[in-house]
Chains A and B, each alone.
Chain A
Amino acid sequence: KAGVTQTPRYLIKTRGQQVTLSCSPISGHRSVSWYQQTPGQGLQFLFEYFSETQRNKGNFPGRFSGRQFSNSRSEMNVSTLELGDSALYLCASSLSGQGAGTEAFFGQGTRLTVV
């Protein structure tokens, strides 16, 4: 059974640019959540998508957005990049989502560096 796949693994962008990260969940999983991990703030919840609908959103500015496709694959977009957006972005896939308390499987993340 294939795990959660995140692409690309590493990315370097310039301040002001935008970036799109991709996440392919485990087959059959309908929930995809995104998290930002930084040394200062730790792991923070960005948003959750379930069946192509954003179900929950964390406390991040509108520059952070996402979407989910009919095959459950999800993309996360960050516009007008700032230096502080440099982080490891983790995607989590689960069968029913956070509300059901089901186990979330994480990808290896995309390491974004903004210069």
Chain B
Amino acid sequence: AQKVTQAQTEISVVEKEDVTLDCVYETRDTTYYLFWYKQPPSGELVFLIRRNSFDEQNEISGRYSWNFQKSTSSFNFTITASQVVDSAVYFCALSEVYSGGGADGLTFGKGTHLIIQP
């Protein structure tokens, strides 16, 4: 069975600090997708990034970067020079892909509540 663990329930940092959100996953499949979503107080989940299991390249998008390591089953997310607007709940998610091409829905971690203080 698939599982996503976000051990950090809440992180509080001062603006401009760098912060890393951890995500560890479990899956028996060799083909899967990993995602990060942001949930602001408005409630909707905002897509941040998708990675497939065959692509271990790290990615940087502005102040955001992601470190995918299959050897440790981790997909960590770093925000550089954090800003107050980054305050939200962040979710890591996993989707396994069947051999026939279908997939279960997203399995989410419990989320990390990130608080950026001014």
Q: Which residues of A contact B (CB under 8 A)?
A: 4, 33, 35, 42-48, 55-56, 58, 88, 90, 92, 97-101, 103-109, 111
Contact = CB atoms under 8 A, between A and B. Distances in A.
A33 to B, nearest CB: 5
29 contacts: A33-B105, A33-B106, A35-B105, A35-B106, A35-B108, A42-B108, A43-B91, A43-B93, A43-B108, A43-B111, A45-B105, A56-B102, A56-B104, A56-B105, A58-B104, A90-B43, A90-B44, A92-B45, A97-B102, A99-B98, A99-B101, A99-B103, A101-B50, A101-B97, A101-B103, A103-B47, A108-B42, A108-B43, A109-B44
Interface in B34-50: 37, 42-47, 50
Interface residues of B, number: 26
Contacts, number: 74
A62 B70 CA distance: 37
Contacts of B97: 99, 101
Contact of A104 (B47, B52, B109): B47
Contact of A101 (B42, B91, B95, B110): B95
B87 to A, nearest CB: 18
Contacts of B47: 103-106
Given A42-B110, A42-B111, A43-B91, A98 B43 contact: no
Given A90-B45, A108-B42, A108-B44, A101 B33 contact: yes
Contacts of A4: 44
Kindly name the residue among B45, B105, B107, B111 whose own CB sees the greatest number of chain A CB atoms within 10 A: B105
A109 B41 CA distance: 12
A99 B33 CA distance: 9
Nearest to A50: B102
Nearest to B98: A99
